[in-house]
Amino acid sequence: MPRPSSEVRWQSALAEAATLAVESIRVQTARSVLAIIGLVIGIVTVVLVSSTLVGLRNSVAQLFRELGTDNIFVFHRAGDPYTPASDADASRRTLTPADAVTIARLGSAVRDVGVQVLVPAATTTRAITVRAGGNESDTVLIEGASPNLFEVTDTLFGAGRPFTETENRVAAPVAVIGANVAQALFGRGDPVGQAFLLGGDRYYVVGVLTPRKGTFFGENRNDNVVSIPMATAARRFPDAEQTVLYVRAKPGQREAARAETEMILRLVRGVPSGAPSDFNLSTADQIITQFDRIGVQIFLATIGLAAVSLVIGGIGIANVMVISVTERTREIGLRLAIGARRQDVRLQFLIESAMLAGVGGLAGVVIALLLGAIAAALAPAFPALPPVWAVVAGVVSAVVVGVIAGYWPARRASQLDPVEALRYE
C-alpha cells in the first residue's frame, strides 16, 4: 500500500487541526469571546478612523479642486481666511483689489485674477442676517466678488448668471447665492429675480450656485455664501478689508505664475530682499498635501492606540490557550500515544489561536461597518465605507497577533511527554 504524500499528510493534518480548533472554540464560547474583546476594540478603532480619514481626504481634495487646480490662492496671512489671525500674522497688511490688477497686468504666465473680499459676519451692533418674506438666516457668509471670480474658479450655476462688469461698476444691489441660502430663503421656488434683505438693504438674486461636491465634515462653506459685486461691498460694508486673490495661471504654467505673483507682490508691498514674504501663496495640491500630513499623524496615533488593544487581545488569547492546553493535557497525551506527531499538536493549537483571533478581526470589521452605517444614517456626509486595505489589514493583523500569542502554548503542548500527560488529573 503506497504511503501518502507529504502534501496529503499536511492537508489531513490541517483539516484535523481545524476541526479540533473549531470544536474547542464552540465549547468554550464565553471564554473565547472575552479573550478577543481587546482585538475587536483595536480593529474597530483602526477601521473607523481609516474610513473617516480617507473619506475626509477625498472630500477635502474635491473641495479645493473645485476652486481650480491651476489657481494660486493668495492671502495676507497663513491659514483659513475665516479663522482669527495668529499673533505673528496680526500685524500684516491686507491685500487689495488693486493688487489683482497689477498681477494680471505684469504676470506673463497669469491668465486672470479673481478677487474676493470677506465681509465681517457682524457689525459693531448686530449680526448681519438675510431675510426673504418670513424666512431668515444668520449663518450666511457675505463676500464681495469681482465679476470674473466665478469664471476663474470654474463655478457652476444651477440657475441665473454671474453679475456683470457694469453691475459691479455701478455698485448694483444684485447677488449670487449659494445652494443652502437659496433653500433657506426661497425653498423650492425659483430665486432668480427675487428680492431679499441683507443687513437691511434690498438685493436681487441674479444667480444661484449648484451644491458643491467637496465638503469638510459634510459642509461646504461656499453653499452658504452670498456674493455681491465688489464695488457694492465696498460701498455698503466699508470695513470689509480682508481680500483673497485667485490667480489663474495659463495652461501648464502654474509654477511660473506662482513665482511671478510672489515677485510682483513683494515689489508692490516693499518687502526687502532676503526677508520672508508678508503674505501666503498656496495651491490646491499644497493644501491637500498639508491635510494628508495631518491625517498621517492622526492615523499613526490611532495605530498606537489600536496596538495597545491588540496587545491586550493577544495576552487574552495566550491566556486562553494556556488554560486550554492545561485542561486538555490528557487529550494531548492520548493523541501523541496513538501516533500523532508533535508538529500536528503544535499546528492544532496554532490554528486554534489564529482562528480565535481571525474571528475577533472579522467581528471588529463587522462592528465598524455597523457603527459607520449608523453614523451615516444620522449624518449622511459621514464617510461610512472603509477602504479595502483597512479591512484586510485589520483581519490580517488580528490573525498575526493570534499566531504570535498562541505559539508558546502550542509549543508547550507539543513538548508534553505522552506518558506523563496520560497520568495528568
What is the per-residue DSSP string for 74-121? EESSSS-TTSPPPTTTTTSPPP-HHHHHHHHHH-TTEEEEEEEEEEPS
pLDDT at 415 exceeding the cut of 80:
no
Closest CA to 400 of 362, 358, 346, 339: 358
Digit-coded pLDDT (tens) for 237-247:
888 888 999 99
Helix residue ranges per DSSP H, 220-328: 230-236, 254-268, 284-327
Q: What is the mean pLDDT of residues 20-39?
A: 69
Contact between 340 and 6 (Cβ < 8 Å): no
Alpha carbon of 2 to those of 5, 204, 227: distances in Å?
A: 9, 94, 87
Strands 130-132 and 135-137, sheet pairing: antiparallel
The kind and range of the H/E element at 192 are none
Mean of pLDDT over the chain: 79
The kind and range of the H/E element at 241 are none
Contact between 83 and 252 (Cβ < 8 Å): no
Percentage of residues in the chain having pLDDT higher than 90: 21
Rounded-to-integer distance, Cα 31 and Cα 353, Å: 13
CA 333 to chain CA centroid, nearest Å = 55
Digit-coded pLDDT (tens) for 356-414:
788 888 888 888 888 877 877 776 666 666 777 777 877 888 888 878 887 787 777 77
User: What pLDDT is attached to residue 21?
Assistant: 61
Q: What is the mean pLDDT of residues 83-90?
A: 72
pLDDT at 13 exceeding the cut of 60:
no
State the burial class of residue 232 (Cβ atoms within 10 Å of its Cβ: 0-12, 13-18, 19+): buried
Rounded-to-integer distance, Cα 197 and Cα 206, Å: 14
User: What pLDDT is attached to residue 1?
Assistant: 45
Rounded-to-integer distance, Cα 313 and Cα 300, Å: 20
**Cell digits of residue 371:** 457603527
Contact between 177 and 191 (Cβ < 8 Å): yes
Model confidence at 145, pLDDT cuts 50, 70, 90, reads very high
Specify the range with the lowest mean pLDDT, choosing from 105-109, 179-183, 207-211, 219-223.
Answer: 219-223
Specify the range with the lowest mean pLDDT, choosing from 215-224, 281-290, 361-370.
Answer: 215-224
The larger pLDDT score, comparing residue 7 to residue 168, is at 168
Rounded-to-integer distance, Cα 355 and Cα 360, Å: 9
Q: What is the mean pLDDT of residues 207-233?
A: 80
Specify the range with the lowest mean pLDDT, choosing from 25-29, 31-35, 63-67.
Answer: 63-67
Q: What is the mean pLDDT of residues 281-300?
A: 75
365-389 burial string, b = 16+ CB within 10 Å, else e? bebbbeebeebeeeeebbbbebeee
The larger pLDDT score, comparing residue 216 to residue 240, is at 240
The larger pLDDT score, comparing residue 43 to residue 259, is at 259
User: What pLDDT is attached to residue 4?
Assistant: 55
Rounded-to-integer distance, Cα 347 and Cα 354, Å: 10
Rounded-to-integer distance, Cα 119 and Cα 230, Å: 10
CB within 8 Å of 200: residues ≥ 6 apart: none
Percentage of residues in the chain having pLDDT higher than 70: 79
Looking at the DSSP bridge assignments, the partners of residue 376 are none
pLDDT at 53 exceeding the cut of 60:
yes
Most confident of 160-174, 296-310, 343-357: 160-174
User: What pLDDT is attached to residue 260?
Assistant: 93
Contact between 113 and 73 (Cβ < 8 Å): no
Q: Is 331 helix (H, G, I), strand (E, B) or coil?
A: helix
- Structural domain boundaries in the chain: 6-62+290-423, 70-283
Query: How crowded is the C-beta side of 136, counted as CA atoms within 13 Å?
Result: 7
Digit-coded pLDDT (tens) for 102-132:
999 999 999 999 999 998 876 555 678 888 8
Most confident of 75-79, 83-87, 106-110, 403-407: 106-110
Q: What is the mean pLDDT of residues 133-155?
A: 88
Rounded-to-integer distance, Cα 75 and Cα 279, Å: 6
Instruction: Say what the pTM is.
Output: 0.67
